[in-house]
Amino acid sequence: MEQINNYIETHKDRFIDELVELLKIPSISADTAFSQDVLETAKMVEKSLADAGCDKTQICETKGYPVVYGEKIIDPNLPTVLVYGHYDVQPPDPMNLWDSPPFEPIIKETELHPHGAIFARGACDDKGQFFMHVKAVEFMIQNNTLPCNVKFMIEGEEEVGSDSLADFLMENQELLENDIILISDTGIIGNDVPSITTGLRGLSYVEVEVTGPNRDLHSGIYGGAVPNPINVLSKMIASLHDENNHITIPGFYDKVEILSEAERSEMAKAPFDLTEYKEALDIDDVYGETGYSTSERYSIRPTLDVNGIWGGYTGEGAKTVIASKAFAKISMRLVPHQDWNEITELFTKHFLSIAPKGVKVKVTPHHGGQGYVTPIDSVGYKAASLAMEKTFGKKPVPQRTGGSIPIVALFEEVLKSKTILLGFGLDSDAIHSPNEHFGVWNFLKGIETIPYFYKYYTELAK
């Protein structure tokens, strides 16, 4: 295993060049205008798996975008690691806030990334992170140090809810058989504070449409006399939180896992600097549910945020119009025991019930997923912890984070395996935002760490 450092030193420029090529393709799954690019990316991913030394690779058609599969089976009696990742990316909007074009990757130094960071949509989420696994496996195969079997399952619909993946799992349970699932789609607290994500929030994502009059109206002639769907939508959204920022949907908190005071004070020991947090975001105060700390608000508590809103005239200048329709995209982050289907139903029922007379309201669920908690006494967690300790020089902190990888709960349900969330990004990498980037140091540190996970996991699993 120790050769990994030499291998990285020799090949790192090529690793980065290969990643840059992958980042150049705008594989935006949310926008059908880019469907050819998504398919093109799938082909490139398959080739990278074959080049790394997989014995078998395959582009598996689904009803949506394909799943790229690859495997290297060295001995059926040895454990099998299933690597999951996604080759699709978030839309890059708002485009005008990017300092360089999102699909023309460039490497720049930043304060947190003195060795440079790759700036591009998908650099961290998730092309850069799944590609670490491809390169780590390449090393192990080329140097005959792969200690167990490995399978890859890289999908193209993660950013739009992994709609086809459930069917794919169901139909390919044998192909996907494994002992542990390994994912790098999360982050570490800092380059000097390694951490492993042990909890993920679930997600319910809906789109709402409020219709007032059947056409846009002149606000002078009709203003004040007809329901204005934007005013109504604002009022409906506002009512979803009370004065303590509790969510007002009846039943919303019924199944929320309540942590003991002991657990909360244990979690409160994780390093967190509120002043730095506010400064980094340039906000003069945080905002959230009364009675919980900032790190509790984004980890152990469910939340509701509007992700987008639009209606009426949004161009330059002034237009005195009352829109016929107003829209919003709303997502709820859920905690263990909350069921996303149930929450979606509760939201829908409540949102329809608060619509005033005079408007029509439509709620369309987009996608969702269950939350997940990784047990820290499992073999997989221990192997990941040892691997990070080896390469970072300190033991990683277990951390619950607020993000969602909805598919993780499904993996456990269908494939009966636990998932280890071994990510190497930083919170500041601006995933889902303009100027997304991924530290070169982090990318290479991931490639260095992953082979140790295989080593320790194979040893401990015996």
E-strand ranges in 184-244 read 195-200, 202-211, 217-218
Taking the alpha carbons of 280, 283, 284, 290 in that order, is the dihedral positive or negative?
negative
Among residues 9, 192, 287, 462, which is the contact residue for its own copies, using CB under 8 A? 287
Q: Which of residues 14-33 bind its own copies (CB under 8 A)?
A: 29-32
Closest CA to 422 of 270, 269, 194, 203: 194
Per DSSP, what are the bridge partners of residue 209?
A: 327, 362
Nearer to its own copies, 6 or 320 (CB): 320
Q: What is the DSSP string of 51-63?
A: HHT-SEEEEE--S
CB 411 within 8 A of CB 180: no
Whichever of 93 and 342 has its CB closer to its own copies, that residue is 93
Which of 24, 115, 255, 432 touches its own copies by CB under 8 A? 432
- Minimum Å gap between C-beta 393 and its own copies is 26
Taking the complex as a whole, the smallest distance from the CB of residue 394 to its own copies amounts, in Å, to 23
Taking CB under 8 A as the criterion, which residues in 103-142 touch its own copies? none
Measured from the CB atom, the residue of 302 and 439 that comes closer to its own copies is 302
Sign of the Cα pseudo-torsion (25, 169, 257, 397, in order)? negative
Window 433 to 462, contacts with its own copies (CB under 8 A): 433-435
Instruction: Indicate the residue among 67 and 431 with the shorter CB distance to its own copies.
Output: 431
Residues 193-252 that bind its own copies (CB under 8 A): 201, 203, 205, 207, 212-228, 230-235, 237-239, 241
The interface with its own copies within residues 374-413 (CB under 8 A) comprises 401-404
Q: Residues 251 to 280: which contact its own copies by CB under 8 A? A: none
**CA gap 217, 323 in Å, rounded:** 7
294 binds its own copies (CB under 8 A): yes
Q: Which two tokens stand for residue 99?
A: 């300092």
Q: Which of residues 49-88 bind its own copies (CB under 8 A)?
A: none
Return the amino acid letter for 347: F
Is 91 an interacting residue with respect to its own copies (CB under 8 A)?
yes
Residues 298-327 that bind its own copies (CB under 8 A): 298, 301-323, 326-327
Interface of this chain with its own copies, residues 324 to 363, rule: CB under 8 A? 326-329, 331, 333, 356-359
Whether the CB-CB separation of 118 and 440 falls below 8 Å is answered with: yes
From CA 323, how far away is CA 326, in angstroms rounded? Answer: 7
Q: Say whether residue 290 binds its own copies (CB under 8 A).
A: no
Q: How many CB atoms lie within 10 A of CB 358?
A: 12
What is the residue type of 181?
I
Q: What is the SS3 assignment for 330?
A: strand
Q: Under rule CB under 8 A, how many of the chain's residues touch its own copies? A: 102
Nearer to its own copies, 47 or 218 (CB): 218
Residue whose CB is less far from its own copies, 46 or 125:
125
Phi, psi of 133 (to 5 degrees): -70, -40
Tell me the closest approach of the beta carbon of residue 323 to its own copies, in angstroms.
7
Measure the CA–CA gap between 100 and 109, rounded to whole angstroms: 14
Any idea what DSSP says for residue 22? H
Closer residue to its own copies in complex, CB, 331/419: 331
